[in-house]
Structure formats: structure tokens, C-alpha cells
Structure 1
Amino acid sequence: MKVTNAELVISAMGPDQYPQEALPEIALAGRSNVGKSSLINRMINRKSLARTSSTPGKTQTLNFYRINSNLFFVDFPGYGFARVSKSLRAQWGKIIESYLQKREQLKLVLQIIDLRHPPTDDDCSMYEWLAYHGLPICVVATKADKVPKTKWSKHMDIIKRDLQIDPAHPLILFSSETGLGKDELWAVIQQAVNE
């Protein structure tokens, strides 16, 4: 997909702040520092629309990015080792859970996993929860450029095994650095949006 226009519309703290436009929404979930912002920037060919940070837990809201006026990327706060209080983490959990279960515009959840490491317990719990609730999932294994090509299939097999990925859910190898997987991911998104 050729992106001609992309903008951050709102950083929402709850449903009353979500955009009212009835555009399809693609949610991005992943642990802190997994590369969600870099993935968004690569997908839309912008260097820094989605702010990347070396500090885990920087995203503390649901960030809605309008793409070409025909869909939204919704970037979730990272789960896992974000340096935030338990009460704030619990609050995020409620907001995200409510969004995932009630948001009619949601067409696809991109679960972002770091290819370099086996999925964490949080990754496995998230995938299990999404699958249990019957949500449309695409698993994206990021940072492929940091793993030798000869080891890609081994690392992908570990992700499939640990998450127990349903064969109906696509698993895409991705690199924000090189653009690997970008066209494939756009194809999955377009299909989800058109269903």
C-alpha cells in the first residue's frame, strides 16, 4: 500500500477519547521495547511519526494513527518490564481488554514478538487471550536484521512452538531496518480491512 498521509490523531486514555470515525482499526500489541513504533514508522515510510524510545514503557496511552484517511493503527502500551506501578499496569490492562473486546472497528491485532528471543510468558499469555476471545491475529517477528539469515527458520519455529500458533494466524518475519516483510504485512492488513 502506498501511504501518502499519516498522522497521530489522539493519544487516548479511554473509550470517550477514541476517534468517532468508523474506519477499520489495526491494533499493535507487544512487550515494551519490541519495536512497535519502529514497525509503524517503516510501514508508513516515516522516520519518526511514532516516537521510539530506549526507555521501556514510554507509550502510556492508546495512540491512534490515521493512515491515508482509510484506517487507523492503534499502538498499545507495551506489556512486560515497563517501569511503571502495578496499579497503572492494571489500569492499562483494563483499558486494553475493554478495547479488544468491545471496539467494533477493530479488524486485526498485530502481536509483535522479538525474533531474537523466545516468546516471554507475557507474549504467550497475550496470544492465548487473543486466540481464546477469537480475535483476528497476525504475529509479527521483528528485528530480523539482528539475527543471521541462516537462523531465521529456527527462531520462527521457536515462536510457533512456544505460542502454539494456530496455522490460521499468519506469522510474518519483519525488519524495520531493511523493510523485510513490509509488503507481506500490508497484504495481511488489506485483507483484514476488506473482510
Structure 2
Amino acid sequence: MALNFAKAEFVRAAASQKDFLRDTMPQFAFAGRSNVGKSSVINRLTGRKNLAYVGASPGKTTQINYFRVDGRAYLVDLPGYGYAKVSREEKERWGRLMEAYFQDEAGLITLGVLIVDARHKPTANDQVMHDWFRQTGCPEIVVANKVDKLKKSQVEPALALIRETLELTERDTLVPFSAEKGIGKEELAGLLSAACEN
């Protein structure tokens, strides 16, 4: 049965490992650079304008935020990496928090959703995050956001560059997406619903 993404609610923000949710519901972990539109993707998926906080300045997600969907799964919004204008101590704290989440012995992540900018080659940080998902052994969906900002003729070459940079195989899933226009929303919702069934 498909997940009803309209039934989404904020549950908690985890600032340390003791705050992680450890019930048996699937956790879909959303990761991406600070200004890639991660919160906007979550908001588009749930049809809510401000369920996940969209900051005017990048790097507003400083904790791990849990949103329960349909009472059956969690969308887990991880702190953005890269641009945020914060102190080195704060960045290191985020890093430790993310590492604790990825390496938790309970194996918390059911599925990873890596959001990259369709207009640019994935960054070194994107590649590190992609490797972290691979190391957990969980499936991963790569979402190429902001595809609406490309000309039609640029879309395929842009997707090919993402596939090549992240060394995606035919088995890996790459979803062209636009948080602004809703492109790719149905496909991503379908993939997450299927992962919830497995």
C-alpha cells in the first residue's frame, strides 16, 4: 500500500545519539549539501510548504530531524554539509552526529536519499556521503534536484555526469527532480513506498 505523504508530522530533533529513534519503523535518511534544497524536496514530497525548515541562509538543519509519514515510516532530515556559515566546532559536532547515526549498531537507516544539484558535478562531499550510504549496505536513491533550471538538451548530459562521478551502476536509482515544479515527485514517492513494503 502506498504511503500517504500528506499525513506527515514532525516527531523530534536529535542533537545526540541518545535522541535517535530506535523503533522498528523504516527510516529514509535524506542527505545533501546545505543549499541543494533538501528541505524543499521533503516539503514537495509531503505537499507541505514548511514541514521541513527552509532557511534563507544555508545550513539551518543543525540536528537530525524526524518526520513520521502515514504512521508507517520516518523521513529523516540530516544536517546539510558544505556551505553553511558556522564555526568549525559546530561543523565538527554535526560530523560526529552524522557519523554516530550512520554507524549506530542498530542499523537505523533503511534507505538513503542523496540529493545533489542537477546543474553541477557532484562535489567531493557528495561523494563522501554517497560512500557512507554504500558502507551501511542500505539501498540508495540519488535525487538530482533543480532539474527545472536546465534546458531540455542539458538534462541527459547532466544526469550522465552525476552517474559517472558517483560511479552509479545500472542497478542504482537516479531520479531527476524539481522541488519547485514537482518533477519526479511521484517517482520518488513510489520508490519510498516500495521500500516501506520490503
TM-score range, shorter chain: over 0.9
- Residue 79 of structure 1: which of 78, 81, 94 is its match? 81
TM-score, scaled relative to structure 2: 0.92
- Give a deviation string over 1:151-177, Cα, whole Å, max 9, x none: 110100110111111332201000111
Q: Which SS does the other structure have where 1:141 is aligned?
A: strand
Is contact 1:6–1:44 with CA below 8 Å preserved after alignment?
A: yes
Distance 1:19 1:134 in 2: 20
Q: CA deviation at 1:20?
A: 4.7
1:166–1:98: structure 2 CA closer, same or farther, 3 Å change rule?
farther
Amino acid at match of 1:170: T
Q: Which runs of 5+ in 2 are unaligned?
A: none
1:187–1:80: structure 2 CA closer, same or farther, 3 Å change rule?
same
Distance 2:150 2:55 in 1: 21
Q: Which residue of 2 aligns with 1:146?
A: 149
TM-score, scaled relative to structure 1: 0.93
Amino acid at match of 1:55: S
Identity %: 38
Distance 1:121 1:56 in 2: 18
Is contact 2:6–2:47 with CA below 8 Å preserved after alignment?
A: no
1:193–1:92: structure 2 CA closer, same or farther, 3 Å change rule?
same
RMSD: 1.5
Q: Is residue 189 of structure 2 the alignment partner of residue 186 of structure 1?
A: yes
Q: Which SS does the other structure have where 2:110 is aligned?
A: strand
Q: CA deviation at 1:104?
A: 3.3
Is contact 1:23–1:105 with CA below 8 Å preserved after alignment?
A: no
- Residue 103 of structure 2: which of 92, 101, 119 is its match? 101
1:126–1:135: structure 2 CA closer, same or farther, 3 Å change rule?
same
- Give a deviation string over 1:37-61, Cα, whole Å, max 9, x none: 1001110111111111121111100
Distance 1:127 1:17 in 2: 24
Distance 1:27 1:50 in 2: 13
Q: Which residue of 1 aligns with 2:132?
A: 129
- Give a deviation string over 1:34-85, Cα, whole Å, max 9, x none: 0111001110111111111121111100010111111111101111121122
Is contact 1:141–1:171 with CA below 8 Å preserved after alignment?
A: yes
Ranges of 4+ aligned residues in structure 1 off by more than 6 Å? none
Distance 1:106 1:119 in 2: 22
Q: Which SS does the other structure have where 2:175 is aligned?
A: strand
Distance 1:41 1:6 in 2: 10
Is contact 1:127–1:163 with CA below 8 Å preserved after alignment?
A: yes
Is contact 2:31–2:113 with CA below 8 Å preserved after alignment?
A: yes
Q: Which runs of 5+ in 1 are unaligned?
A: none
